[in-house]
Amino acid sequence: MTQTALISGGSSGIGLALSERLLERGFRLLWVSLDEDEIAHARQSLLERHPDAEIEGRAMNLADPQSVARLVQWAQGEGGLDLLVNNAGFGVYGPSVSLAVEAEQAMIDVNARALHAMTRAFLPLMEAAGGGTIINIASNSAFVPTPGLAVYAATKAFVRHYSNALSQELEQSGSPVRVMTVCPSAVSDTPFKERAAAKDVRTFSSFSATTAGEVASDILKGYDRGASEVITGAAMRRAMWLMRFSPAPLVRWLTQRETQRI
């Protein structure tokens, strides 16, 4: 039986790279993204390589509190989900006091509130259907307060803490649904850095930077082995291991250095 995955932000970056790998496994895809033209272009690009693929997309702003109810209705009309990937998110670079309050609140709405709402809406439906997996995309910024990305990092810390705790709760209760948290390092080949006005920030060209393709591969390796958390990018995994043995002032200094403009 064909499995169905709903991916928020599926038409670009990590979502698009993961979509291609899921198509190779025979999944049908439901996308929700902001830009209708981007959805159409990405869909056509994938169909050229996978002519038999089933890909449907909806342009929707997840900052709208009504969007999740519409997504649930759409997904249920398509037969329900086997996999939910909460990938949509964005950042705005700069000192918090210099950013528009509305931009920071939008980050909270999309990165945290919408992810929570999507998880809570689809979790009982997956349980009732017999099982499934929810993959929530956090960030390496979830581990350390991040100057220049203060609110973004805070939203990703929420994603990581919430998702890991929920994963434990579901395991303890015997739920047929599992939750996996993914913490990518800075991804060099997605629109994120341009949209965040962070193109020249050091972290996107540092030794620990990764690619959307590497993130997608690591996600599926974690998915296959039943991992509850995945740190993507081999260099980032080594760096995180070293950070565990480093004094806090050094970690703060390195984080601040990595988030400065070159």
Give the phi and the psi of residue 244 in degrees, each rounded to 5.
-65, -25
Question: 18-27 burial, b for 16+ CB within 10 Å, e for fewer?
Answer: bbbebbeeeb
Q: Which residue in 83, 161, 63, 169 sits closest to 125, CA to CA?
A: 83
If one compares 30 and 249, the residue with the highest pLDDT of the two is 30
Q: Which residue in 91, 138, 144 sits closest to 253, CA to CA?
A: 144
Angle at 66 between CA 60 and CA 72, to 5 degrees: 75
Residue 167 pLDDT > 70? yes
pLDDT at 198: 62
At residue 42 the predicted structure's pLDDT band, cuts being 50, 70 and 90, is very high
Question: Residues 202-208: what's their mean pLDDT?
Answer: 65
Residue the block writes with tokens 């342009």: 59
What does pTM read for this prediction? 0.91
Pick left, alpha or beta for residue 197 (phi over 0 → left; psi -120 to 50 → alpha; otherwise beta): left
pLDDT at 171: 98
Pick the CATH number of 4-258 from 2.60.40.770, 1.10.10.1100, 3.40.50.720, 3.40.50.450: 3.40.50.720
Sign of the alpha-carbon dihedral angle for 173, 79, 6, 26: positive
Cα distances from 48 to residues 20, 42, 92, 108, in angstroms, run 12, 10, 34, 36
Q: Report the catalytic residues.
A: 152
Give the phi and the psi of residue 199 in degrees, each rounded to 5.
-60, -35
Question: Which DSSP helix (H) or strand (E) runs through 73?
Answer: helix 67-77
Residue 155 pLDDT > 80? yes
Domain boundaries, the chain: 4-258
Partners of 231 in beta bridges:
183
